[in-house]
Copies of this chain bind each other. A is one copy, B any other.
Amino acid sequence: MTSDFTYYTPTKVVFGKNTESQVGTLIKEFKGKKVLIHYGSASAKRSGLLDKIITSLIQSGLDYVTLGGVVPNPRLSLVHEGIALCKQEGVDFLLAVGGGSVIDSCKAIGYGLYNEGEVWDFYDRKRVVNGCYPIGAILTLAAAGSEMSSSSVITNEEGDLKRGLNSDTSRCRFAIMNPELTYTLPPYQTMCGAVDIMMHTMERYFTAKGNMFITDGLAEALLKTVIYYAPKLKNKPDDYEGRANLMWASSLSHNGLTSAGNSSPGDWAPHQLEHEIGGMFDVAHGAGLSAIWNSWATYVYANNPSRFANFGEKVFDLPRTKNVEADALAAIEATKDFFASLDMPINLNQLGIHPTEAQIVEMAEKCTFFGKRTLGDFKTLGKEDLIAIYKNAEK
């Protein structure tokens, strides 16, 4: 069933080897003059990537300042620091060098520069953004898809709150994607990325009222690509084909292609359940997702077992039987087994966390914005449902 939709992906993707050397030219193309180079760890410096970027900027006659220190689950405090720095220095273009965390931090800085007042208000749904400063990205991690998406997620350390915000105004002007830049990622981070890519598509796949036919086909092809290549990267981290396919899948998974014409933007309960885990325990996002998904799926599948059965057939090539219930459970099992084969946790204990009863209740309360919202689309979930899902996810 096809629903109305808007599809808007203005990001110019420049994909391939050594494409980072084009960054100066691209920023000029998009009218940038003074650039904030925003990045995470010291590895961007060590690897020589920052030097290469700065050389390109200088060659294009661009001015710049730098701000490192972005961490996974990027912090509001650094966003504040970035906004102040950009205002002081007269920055007019934001360059994210990293993965989703760095890009999301840039998006939040961009909102803060464009709009007056406290930027957290937008993430806290108190106000609506009117625009965002222009952003470009040099991607060093295939995972979040933030390089082509409208979304960003920021963690407010005061209260361990992790909140997402979507606005087309924050979509990157360009995204430079060189798969070779991801060769040095540790396997754990690579596999977290693979899970995140899959989950961005799977969240959109499981809707209550059905999807557009072509979109289902595209989503299944994307998922099969990740399933094909992620295991190869476990043993060969410098496999160009694997890195390239995962990188492009990360962008397509989250730019709107896999939800076009679907009856809803997706379920997103697994993501929101994970945001609370990430907010409270600071785990890697992809690992949090794989740890919670099985419990979520087992809790909700009975609402429409044939959708899960179809997923197993099309994505994992499982045979269909006359027992749709059994087929659905086999699909969940296959997904769990696949995550396990990537050495990803499939429950909270494997993730290294053992939440207390009180912590579970706290996560469930925060997740519903203290009773202000329900979660999910495939099945609508309230606080008690979330408590049950967290508990079933423990081991």
Interface residue ranges, A against B (CB under 8 Å): 1-10, 12-17, 19, 179, 212-214, 217-218, 220-222, 224-225, 228-229, 240-241, 244-245, 248-249, 252, 257, 260-261
Contacts and interface: CB of A to CB of B under 8 A. Distances in A.
Nearest to A178: B4
Number of copies: 2
Nearest to A220: B221
Given A218-B222, A245-B214, A12 B2 contact: no
A222 B214 contact: yes
Contacts of A260: 15, 248
Contacts of A217: 221-222, 224-225
A12 B17 contact: no
A241 B213 contact: yes
Given A214-B222, A217-B224, A218-B221, 8 more contacts: A4-B19, A6-B15, A212-B248, A214-B248, A218-B218, A220-B221, A248-B260, A257-B257
A135 to B, nearest CB: 15
Contacts of A3: 16
Given A213-B228, A217-B222, A248-B212, A241 B1 contact: yes
Nearest to A4: B16
A260 to B, nearest CB: 7
A171 to B, nearest CB: 10
From A1, A3, A217, A220, residue with most partner B Cβ within 10 Å: A217
B2 A6 contact: no
16 contacts: A2-B241, A4-B16, A6-B14, A7-B13, A7-B15, A9-B10, A10-B10, A212-B244, A212-B248, A214-B245, A214-B248, A217-B224, A217-B225, A218-B252, A220-B221, A257-B257
A3 B241 CA distance: 10
A245 B213 contact: yes
Contacts of A212: 244-245, 248
A240 B225 CA distance: 30
A2 B246 CA distance: 12
Nearest to A14: B6
Given A214-B222, A222-B218, A261-B248, A16 B8 contact: no
A221 B225 CA distance: 13
Nearest to A15: B5
Nearest to A7: B13
A67 to B, nearest CB: 28
Contact of A12 (B6, B214, B218, B225): B6
A4 B176 CA distance: 11
Contact of A240 (B2, B252, B257): B2
A54 B39 CA distance: 49
Nearest to A3: B16
A96 to B, nearest CB: 18
A260 B225 CA distance: 14
A212 B243 CA distance: 12
Contacts of A2: 179, 240-241, 244-245
A288 B63 CA distance: 54
Given A3-B16, A6-B13, A15-B6, A213 B229 contact: yes
